[in-house]
Amino acid sequence: MVLSKKRGNELIPQYSLTGDLLSYLRCGLQYRYHNGSSLPPSRPVQLWFGEFIHGVMEAAYRIWSTTNPAFPWPSNPTPYRQAPPKGRSAHDIGVIGDVVEGTLMAQGKSARSRDTRDNAYVRAQKAVNELGPHLFPLIASAEERVIGTRTIPNSSANASRSQLYELHGIIDVVTDVQLSGATTKNVIKQAIQDSCPGLSGNYEVIVDYKGSRRPATSEPYWQQGEWQVQTYGWLRTRQANSLPVAAGVLLYVNELSPVSSDLVSLRREVSNNKTDVIPANGTPDSYALNAWRTGNAIPNFSLAFRLARAIRVIPIDPTSQATATNNFDKVVASIEQCVAQEAVAGAINPNWAPCGDEETCAACDFRHFCPSPYPHKKGHVVGAPSAP
């Protein structure tokens, strides 16, 4: 019997759903620059804010599940660069925030300004006190790691390093929801039931916190958010202990406390029919939004309207999962192609598309030597990793 020669070890590239695929879609060139260095970005405002909200919600859930303090929880943040106030309780959002800020600081991440930090505490307080009473009782597990292996499409044509890739991620929250169709006072459960009529029984629902406003339905982030939870759903069903996944829920925390720029965007999206949650005609929320002008105080929108803007439910089924995962496969193929082109050319810039949007470019460390920061020069952005 002739023994076949041992095959060489094959490199299986590993991709994080948020750290790689969504980052690459945000800007290909920025993604490449960050991956060439282990240093965290120097002004990671989006990163810091999102991670601060995640950290506070995670810690608040742990406290709620052990000692169950009644809502609303107090919020007395440590004043900027001063000593913490005395006499705060363990569930004070200021105390929770100190721990989260300290952890992020140790990783080299801090708020860009005092305003950013103050704003983060306001939103964290709203997230805990307005979403927490509905979300925390549904949580089955938090920070759930998921992993799966997928095929890279056209791997030979793209000169990919492998035919397969490993996809991994961390689901913020997995909830165990009993769907019955009966009306409930839990706004998150009610939103899931409204979006998944006809389902009954026990299901998992995947929840992801977003440190951002609800995007316009025409923005790439709208579709990418859907792909993200659909793909988490696919990864989750690879785990032995999972129940059927009914839906994903994105929680857009900024909607709980909008600032002026959020209202400018909302008014524009309402007039262009580019958002799916608007105040009903004739309501105080509708009047306040129509009457608001830049420079005016932010109106006191109702809790119901703010929660409706914050909660987005995306039903998950095998067809929608296949669409989302196939799209992320194409993103991986696109990254692999850039890697191969750079290896041949020996240069970064021509092989990774500088395609950040206005907000991404404004906070980007590389904007001073980027060949095409926002607003992009006409005709310069070739091969941008737009939505596949």
The DSSP string of 250-319 is: EEEGGGGS--HHHHHHHHHHHHTT--S--PPTTSHHHHHHHH--TTSPPP---HHHHHHHHEEEEE--HH
Residue 65 backbone class (left: φ over 0; alpha: ψ -120 to 50; beta: rest): alpha
Nearest alpha carbon to residue 299 among 277, 284, 280: 284
Stretch that binds ligand SF4, among 79-87, 121-129, 174-182, 368-376 (CB under 6 A): 368-376
- What is the Cα–Cα distance from 69 to 53, expressed in whole angstroms? 20
User: Minimum CB separation from ligand SF4 for residue 187, in Å?
Assistant: 36
Q: How far is the CB of 165 from ligand SF4 (least distance, A)?
A: 24
Grouping H, G, I as helix, E, B as strand and the rest as coil, residue 167 is strand
The H or E element that residue 24 is part of is: helix 23-26
Does position 366 interact with ligand SF4 (CB under 6 A)? The reply is: yes
Three-state DSSP at 199 gives coil
Stretch that binds ligand SF4, among 217-225, 251-259, 304-312, 367-375 (CB under 6 A): 367-375
Contact between 360 and ligand SF4 (CB under 6 A)?
yes
Q: What angle do CA 44, 46, 48 make, to 5 degrees?
A: 60
3-state secondary structure of 49: helix
Pairing of strands 14-16, 201-210: unpaired
**Between 118 and 357, CB nearer to ligand SF4:** 357
Choose which of 367, 379, 385, 387 interacts with ligand SF4 (CB under 6 A): 367
Q: Specify the residue, 10 or 369, whose C-beta has the smaller distance to ligand SF4.
A: 369
Does residue 364 interact with ligand SF4 by CB under 6 A?
Answer: yes
Residues 22 to 41: which contact ligand SF4 by CB under 6 A? 27, 29-30
Name the segment binding ligand SF4 (CB under 6 A); options: 49-57, 266-274, 314-322, 355-363. Answer: 355-363
Binder to ligand SF4 among 130, 356, 384, 385 (CB under 6 A)? 356
Tokens of 242: 């999972």
> Which region, judged by CB under 6 A, interacts with ligand SF4, from 6-14, 56-64, 338-346, 369-377?
369-377
Which residue reads 């490449």 in tokens? Answer: 32
Q: Which is nearer to ligand SF4, 34 or 54 (CB)?
A: 34
Stretch that binds ligand SF4, among 163-171, 187-195, 335-343, 365-373 (CB under 6 A): 365-373
- By the rule CB under 6 A, 361 interacts with ligand SF4: yes
Could you give the angle at the alpha carbon of 98 between the alpha carbons of 93 and 102, nearest 5°? Answer: 145
Residue 17 CB coordination number (10 Å) = 21
Overall size of the chain counted in residues = 388
Q: Distance between alpha carbon 153 and the CA centroid of its chain, in Å?
A: 26
Q: Which CB atom, from 29 or from 131, has the smaller least distance to ligand SF4?
A: 29
Give the interface segment with ligand SF4, choosing from 1-9, 208-216, 250-258, 362-370 (CB under 6 A): 362-370
184 near ligand SF4 (CB under 6 A): no
Binding track, positions 245-284, relative to ligand SF4; x by CB under 6 A: ----------------------------------------
The reply on whether position 370 binds ligand SF4 by CB under 6 A is: yes
Q: Can residue 44 be called a binding residue for ligand SF4 (CB under 6 A)? A: no
- Positions in the binding site for ligand SF4 (CB under 6 A): 27, 29-30, 354-356, 360-361, 364, 366-367, 370, 372-374
